[in-house]
Amino acid sequence: MVEGKGRHRVWTAIGALLLAGAGWWLYQTFFAGGKSAREPAAVAVTIAEAQRKDVRIELTANGTVTALSTVEVRPQISSVVREVHVREGQMVKPGDLLFTLDTRMDEANLAQARATLAQNQADLADARRQLARSEDLLKRNFISASAVDTARAKVANLEGLISANRASIEANRVSVSYGTLRATIAGRTGAVTAFPGSLVQPGGAALLTIAQIDPVAVSFTLPERELAALQQALRSGPVDVSAVPNDGLPDTIQGKVTFVDNTVNPQLGTLLLKAQFDNAQQRLWPGTYVNIHISVRTLRDVIVVPPHAVLTGPDNRLVYSVDKDHKVHANKVKLVAVTPEAAVVEGIQPGTRVVVEGAQNLRPGMTVRESPMQPASTPAANGAQGEGGA
């Protein structure tokens, strides 16, 4: 009897333990972890709507600043420098005196030519008086006709000699003028290579170089596939160009395309262009590199999304769209072009709500919740480019 009661108590304890274990398992399954297993936490993302609009395609190129014009100051005669009237790095304008050369020999030759002219003019005056008397004597038959012809020949000879004297004076005047070297363009002077007492010659080194830097030119190249769009833009009017100097200042400099080369480089497949910029502040310096931005075409009535919304997969581009139930879906798209502000895509409709930030951990079918858009910093100017680069 006692054994039966003891055995009953053992089985009762075992049953209670089994019931307790089953209860704990049911609680963990359906109450503690079941809710999170059925409904995972929503992922916070920022969302924007796809829009239909016109987009200007801006191309970016590396440009080289060049002086609009450069003049090498060289002497036209062999002489000695008497005085230097300019400083290195000075801004000059047309007509400014730069160098004075020793022209004493040319001035002496000029004075001699003038004296010779005066002498020959006196001889001519006398010859003309002699001719007049001879003609009068011929009328009275006091002299022969040959004597009159001789007098006329003498007058003609002196007239020719005077013409040569005047040409010699002009040549010597030009030689004297070569003794003063003046600026022919406005610009900035370079290094001075001659000083008072230096012997200079026409075939020697330049005494000075003047570079016109206001306005200034920038040379750059564009892919040959942009030639048709560039020609169309030029037919519509001047094509605007902006330059970003390497001086750390945020604002750009505006200019216009002034030259398009007549040949495409067959090895590189590029087209050479030049643009002209006002450069009063001298932010563009000849020889330096700048980033050039130029817009030659506009895509009309296209679908755009923020650039960060477009993701690159193993073999395609995609964007995550969000439906009215806050579920995400992967949409394959074709990237037509991208600018710092917008990406032009094909494959979605206007008004589609796309994920801009927070898409790195998303999977199709996941639930998301929208978070406020954070203020974006100004993106680096990479230029606009089509699929595969600009």
Band the pLDDT of 390: cuts 50, 70, 90: very low
State which amino acid sits at residue 316: N
Distance of alpha carbon 191 from alpha carbon 59, whole angstroms: 37
Name the DSSP letter for residue 29.
I
Higher pLDDT, 189 or 389: 189
pLDDT-derived band at 15, boundaries 50, 70, 90: low
CA angle 153, 158, 159 (to 5 degrees): 95
- What DSSP state is assigned to residue 27? H
Residue 336: count other Cβ atoms within 10 Å of its Cβ.
17
The answer to whether 150 and 37 have CB atoms below 8 angstroms apart is no
pLDDT (0 to 100) of residue 284: 94
- Per-residue pLDDT tens digits for 209-249: 999 999 999 999 999 988 988 998 899 888 999 999 888 88
**Mean pLDDT over residues 160-171, rounded?**
96
Instruction: Please say if the pLDDT value at position 189 is more than 80.
Output: yes
Contact 277, 243 (CB under 8 A): yes
| Weakest-pLDDT range from 25-29, 64-68, 188-192, 241-245 | 25-29
Contact 176, 114 (CB under 8 A): no
The pLDDT > 90 percentage for the chain reads: 59
The span from the CA of 299 to the CA of 50, in Å, is 16
Structure pTM? Answer: 0.65
Question: Do 320 and 46 touch, CB atoms closer than 8 A?
Answer: no
In DSSP terms, 65 is beta-bridged to 218
Higher-pLDDT residue of 194 and 390 is 194
Structure-block tokens of residue 151: 């007098």
